[in-house]
Structure 1
């Protein structure tokens, strides 16, 4: 009996792969493996459980126990569309440490574990690597990714059924009577992070603004606060530990439960001042007068003011995170 582990994201692509694997290898030990950022849309969890129920496959969920914003506070860094640290730290490294070294993260639980045919825990050895194939929901439109994935996941065998084996990923939704995740109905290209993906482009954020304004403006405030915090902790005295970080607890509480202390409220109220302030010079000797932002070229607050004026060509940069797959060589221990 072979192990077949589907890197499950909670989206239609990885579901189609899971259904294909189950239909082609019904007697093998198949596991749906999901790394939870704890920042997902509520309907994603409904979808994951329904897929597990209908396919009769066990679902293993693992997590660091923190959200992307909490990670940004811990690392004193604002993730952006050029550096998706949340994908690297909360998904890629968690999965690699577990599958390659057997290291269980802070949070782990099973759903429908009774469907598991043999354990995938224990010490990883050559037999486990040789007997296990990993499956990713990468299609022909993402042909730049398979080679990187194959290198990063050695010595495992990796497969991408969507490229040559599956013509229409939607047919499996109808076949198994499963309702697609609601983010697709809201015109999002994927079902990650409730539409808040920090690696997204203008088209994606324009869609978030139109489809779910509440979430957009919550994210906007988080960007303002996290941006100022990332700058605040760059002070030499704080970096060297000479001066105390007086903002951390307030920022962490804000991104965790939305509570706005006086310090946080002052940052939000004063963001127009912060945006126009001079924060030193960059590597080219140019003045830095823009807060750090998810999109690099503009803040969400600036984008909200101009979104409806943008043409279709301006917003074609939809973007989105290739969670668990879009990376260069990744070190497990770094």
Structure 2
């Protein structure tokens, strides 16, 4: 498409999480709101309260959030790619977040017309390299990796000062506000926390995993674990039953969301 000469745009990847909210706040304070774009990519399995948070912060900032979506859920992406997402490879991140955002940005701006902003903070500086490489030649910046090095607790305090209610998933003890608490990158501890706090969502994921196993006719799982030096597959159903039977669970195996951060392939191997 033809690109007109415009003032440089500042595009914040706005997920509905605390990091992206604080990033948006800092970018707006630095540049004003006139050339700010808050870009939300919807996975269509978000917690309902996330949309409340988007609406309230949209009004608070005085900026209409740009909302885009691939149109599929993570489970549909897994089926289309014949690959069940896991901590190692998560096609949901690649298709629903990265590719969807890139398609929109490339359709609207040349690299010299905008700067992109991610909510990675100073405790995760090592994660900056992948998005910088992935988005080249677009410029990517990370305001939370710069002084004065704001802590997560300080971000919660900043949000409280605005009178905006903390998103529900944070109140429930989740470390992020993505995908309704479901995350194929999460470890045993993350999934057990989901089972304890939003059991119906866990059971839905358990059923979706089983459907993928039947569809692929393969022993694929979201989770795996090490026992006696060997890697073993672990279904969500098995994990739930072991938890219900008070068997040992690696609660410290949390994992984490990296939807706009980690590299993901366009093609997937034949087996998980």
TM-score by length of structure 1 reads 0.70
Please point out which of 64, 68, 71 is paired with 2:74. Answer: 68
Deviation at 1:213, TM superposition (A): 1.1
Q: Would you say the 8 A contact 1:78–1:230 is kept in 2?
A: no
**Which stretch shifts more, 142-151 or 86-95?**
142-151
Stretches of structure 2 lacking an aligned partner (at least 5 in a row): 1-6, 225-232, 267-272
Aligned residue pairs total: 246
CA distance, structure 1, for counterparts of residue 123 and residue 251 of structure 2:
19
Question: 1:294 — aligned with what?
Answer: 222
Q: Would you say the 8 A contact 2:33–2:63 is kept in 1?
A: no
CA distance, structure 1, for counterparts of residue 119 and residue 19 of structure 2:
5
Q: Once the two structures are superposed, what CA deviation does each residue of 1:129-177 show, in whole Å capped at 9, x if it has no partner? A: 2231111000122122111111111122211111124512223312321
Question: 2:99 — aligned with what?
Answer: 93
Stretches of structure 1 lacking an aligned partner (at least 5 in a row): 103-120, 232-278, 280-290
Please point out which of 252, 264, 267 is paired with 1:316. Answer: 252
Q: Does 1:200 align with 2:206?
A: no
CA distance, structure 1, for counterparts of residue 24 and residue 238 of structure 2:
41
> Which structure has the larger Rg over C-alpha atoms?
1
* Alignment of structure 1 residues 1-334 onto 2, 5 Å: 1-26=7-32, 28-100=34-106, 102=107, 121=108, 124-125=109-110, 129-165=111-147, 166-167=149-150, 168-231=154-217, 291-296=219-224, 297-307=233-243, 308-310=246-248, 314-327=250-263
Q: Would you say the 8 A contact 1:87–1:321 is kept in 2?
A: no
CA distance, structure 2, for counterparts of residue 199 and residue 2 of structure 1:
35
Q: How large is the Cα RMSD of the aligned pairs?
A: 1.7
CA distance, structure 1, for counterparts of residue 103 and residue 74 of structure 2:
19
Q: Would you say the 8 A contact 2:121–2:142 is kept in 1?
A: yes
SS at match of 1:87: helix
TM-score by length of structure 2 reads 0.85
CA distance, structure 1, for counterparts of residue 8 and residue 220 of structure 2:
47
CA distance, structure 1, for counterparts of residue 248 and residue 16 of structure 2:
31
SS at match of 1:61: strand
Deviation at 1:28, TM superposition (A): 4.3
SS at match of 2:68: strand
Q: Once the two structures are superposed, what CA deviation does each residue of 1:104-138 show, in whole Å capped at 9, x if it has no partner? A: xxxxxxxxxxxxxxxxx3xx44xxx2231111000
